[in-house]
Every structure is written in C-alpha cells, then in structure tokens.
Amino acid sequence: MLATILVVGVGLSLDFGSIANGSYLVVALSAVAFTASFLAHEIAHKIVAQKHGLWAEFRLTFMGAILTAISIALPFKFISPGAVMVAGTVDRKTMGKTAMAGPATNIVLATILSAAAAALPNQTFSFFGVIAWFNAWIAAINLIPFGIFDGMKVFLWNKGVWVLTFVMSAALTIVLTITFFG
C-alpha cells in the first residue's frame, strides 16, 4: 500500500497541467494509470520468475521508499519503493529474462498507448501520450546497467537484448518527451 501511495505521489508531482486542465477526473485517472504502469512492471517480473520455478514476491525497501518519497519534491523522479525479490536456484539467463520482463512490459504499454494517442482527439491524445511517455521512461531508467537496476541483470545475461531494449526505450522516451513536453 505504501509503495502504491509513493508511486501515485511521484505521478502526481509530474508537471502535466496541460492535459489535466483543471479536471480532477484527469488527475485521478493519471494517478491510476501511473500506478498501473508500475504494478504491471513488477507483476511481469513475478510472473516470469514463477514460470521458471522461482519464488518471487514484491517487497518494500527502506532506501527505495525514502528515495521515491524525496523525488516527489525533486525535478528528477525516482520510482523504486521496492522490488520483486526472487529466490531459488537461478542462472544468468533466467535472471536476465526475469529482469527483462518489467521493462519489456513498459515498452509494450508505451507503444500501445502511443498508437492510441495518435488515433484519438487532442485532449485524449495528450493524456494517453503522457502515460505512454511514463512507461517509456520507466523502461529506460530501469534498463540502465548499474547496481540493482534491471539493466544490469539483462546486460550480464545478453548484451544484444540489452542494447536493443535500451535503445528502444530511450528512443521512445526522447520522441515522447519532444512530442508531449517539448
């Protein structure tokens, strides 16, 4: 519950006033969409891990929750109130595929929402576009090959998969940033 509240806080702290246009309904729908994007990412990790016979469970992490809370007030956002913890005998390939599941889910969502945005009227276009951007951004940040990020596990497993998905998520983020915020 705390992770959800923090993710909603970060989502609402993004400057998307142009699409909200004073509408509480749009603000509420945005909060739901941001949270659904985060949850879809984490659930994808869990599903892939369990398909490989591993134990998997989302756990709140103290430092991640603190950094997420602080980022609500900062211009750069950090969303990592916790992570899916995996246990069992696991090799690099299985861990890489499990790590890839989250960002891949966000890339698919960003692509679908971008297509929806292009097909809909202006106000709806902006709403779906910002949610598409959010998903592309989550994927790109998570694919950075550093520390505990998903990108490190994917990079160690398969550099080709990492390059392809990182470039795709970064390109989507850049294009959607220019389109909706530029």
- How confident is the model at residue 18, as a pLDDT? 54
Name the CA radius of gyration of the chain, rounded.
16
Q: Is the pLDDT of residue 3 over 90?
A: no
Lowest mean pLDDT among 69-73, 99-103, 121-125: 121-125
pTM assigned to the model? 0.88
| Rounded distance between C-alpha atoms, residue 123 and residue 5, angstroms | 26
Read off the pLDDT band of 12 (50, 70, 90).
confident
Read off the pLDDT band of 167 (50, 70, 90).
very high
**Tens of pLDDT along 132-147?**
998 999 999 999 999 8
Domain range list for the chain? 2-181
